Amino acid sequence: MYDVRMKRHAERIIGTILSLSLAFASGCETNPYTGRSQLLMTSVSQEMQLGAQAYNQVKNDPKMKPSQDSREIEPVKRVAARIVEAAKRSKYAEMAQQFQWEVTVIKDDKTANAFALPGGKMAVYTGILPMAKTEAGLAAVMGHEVVHALARHGAERMSQGQLTSAALQVAGAAAGASGMNPLLSQGTMAALGAGAQVGVLLPFSRKHESEADYIGILLAADAGYDPRESVALWERMAQMSGGGGPAEFMSTHPSNETRIDQLKKWLPEAMTIYQSKQPVPVAELPPVGR
């Protein structure tokens, strides 16, 4: 009885969170590529300010050493410039024109990562270069990251977190007012926290990742990079990960297999764009760690 009561209470509040999310999202913006409604509770100028602050923190971190190797810097700058120009021709053109674009290559051969912040501040860690292998592979990575910024995914996560936090606070007050004993109230809140995380926040992040994969390869194709390299990139990712990691429903990212399948599904659209452009010559990225 104790567990059933707690579970039912959690399910009711999780349902409320989902309903509130949909209600807020229906009155907000719509992604121009996917038609998905977006819950956004911050302004673009606020996001750009936060992005600039975060970027400065990264650049001023003594552990973050910028690369001094032109073999690493130049291809990243080339790819970034072409992706940005594609963004300025895209359905995000107005946003892309507002951004103050900048890219830094961070010398860290053990970190396979890249990011783009609201406002257009980008960073590429040298550890991603062997995984990307070619400039087209790097374009898939950078296109993905640029879409996160242009599509305001960070702002969505913040808005979703704010809404969920508010709902959980209301749930806590309701649990206390309902006559539940303190232990039951704490248990309900614990269940709500886990339920909201799995039921709302994580799937929302997976939608962001898939959206960035999809629009990212369209940007890369428009920039003249072969979108088929995105599939090769994730096949290498899957091989290097060895199939490890948490189950997809407990992860903020789709599984490698899901990503590969989705990218293959989107390739015909991306290839149509790519074939209408002047293709960028195939170029291998430099080795790192030597």
pLDDT digits (tens, 9 = 90+) for 14-59: 555 555 555 554 447 899 999 998 888 888 898 899 889 989 988 8
Whether residue 152 contacts residue 128, with contact meaning beta carbons closer than 8 Å, is answered with no
**Is residue 245, in this structure, part of any structural domain at all?**
yes
Structure tokens at 249: 């429903």
If you ran DSSP here, which 8-state letter would residue 282 be given? P
**Is residue 80, in this structure, part of any structural domain at all?**
yes
**Is residue 229, in this structure, part of any structural domain at all?**
yes
Q: Is 145 a catalytic residue?
A: yes
**Is residue 286, in this structure, part of any structural domain at all?**
no
The pLDDT score that the predictor gives to residue 266 is 98
The pLDDT score that the predictor gives to residue 2 is 42
Q: How much is the average pLDDT of 163-167?
A: 60
The pLDDT score that the predictor gives to residue 35 is 94
> Residue 125 and residue 113: Cα distance in Å, rounded?
5
Q: Mean pLDDT: which of 1-5, 17-21, 139-143, 160-164 is highest?
A: 139-143
pLDDT tier at 206, thresholds 50, 70, 90: confident
Percent share of the chain, pLDDT over 70: 70
Structure tokens at 171: 């749930």
The pLDDT score that the predictor gives to residue 5 is 55
> Residue 51 and residue 119: Cα distance in Å, rounded?
6
The pLDDT score that the predictor gives to residue 185 is 45
Q: Write down the residue that tokens 């992604």 correspond to.
A: 31
**Is residue 220, in this structure, part of any structural domain at all?**
yes
For the beta carbon of residue 106, count every other beta carbon within 10 angstroms. 22
> Residue 234 and residue 225: Cα distance in Å, rounded?
16
**Is residue 22, in this structure, part of any structural domain at all?**
no
- Indicate the length of the chain as a whole number: 290
Structure tokens at 121: 């501040």
With 0-12 / 13-18 / 19 or more C-beta atoms within 10 angstroms meaning exposed / middle / buried, residue 95 is buried
Instruction: Return the ∠ at Cα 90 (arms to 120 and 228), rounded to 5°.
Output: 90
Least confident of 39-43, 64-68, 115-119: 39-43
Q: Alpha carbon of 223 to those of 121, 216, 226: distances in Å? A: 19, 11, 9
Structural domain containing residue 259: 40-158+187-275
> Residue 138 and residue 106: Cα distance in Å, rounded?
15
If you ran DSSP here, which 8-state letter would residue 134 be given? B
**Is residue 179, in this structure, part of any structural domain at all?**
no
| The total number of structural domains that make up the chain | 1
The pLDDT score that the predictor gives to residue 8 is 58
> Residue 284 and residue 258: Cα distance in Å, rounded?
27
**Is residue 16, in this structure, part of any structural domain at all?**
no
Q: Among the options 72, 145, 211, 229, which is catalytic?
A: 145
Give the mean pLDDT of the chain. Answer: 81
For 238-266, write each residue's pLDDT tens digit: 887 765 555 554 566 788 889 999 999 99
Q: Which residue, 143, 84, 86, 90, is CA-closest to 119?
A: 84
Burial letters 9-25, b for 16+ CB under 10 A, else e = bbeebbeebeebbeebb
Q: Is the dihedral of CA 172, 173, 176, 179 positive or negative?
A: negative
Rg (the chain; Cα; Å): 21
Helix axes 228-241, 256-275, angle to 10 degrees: 160
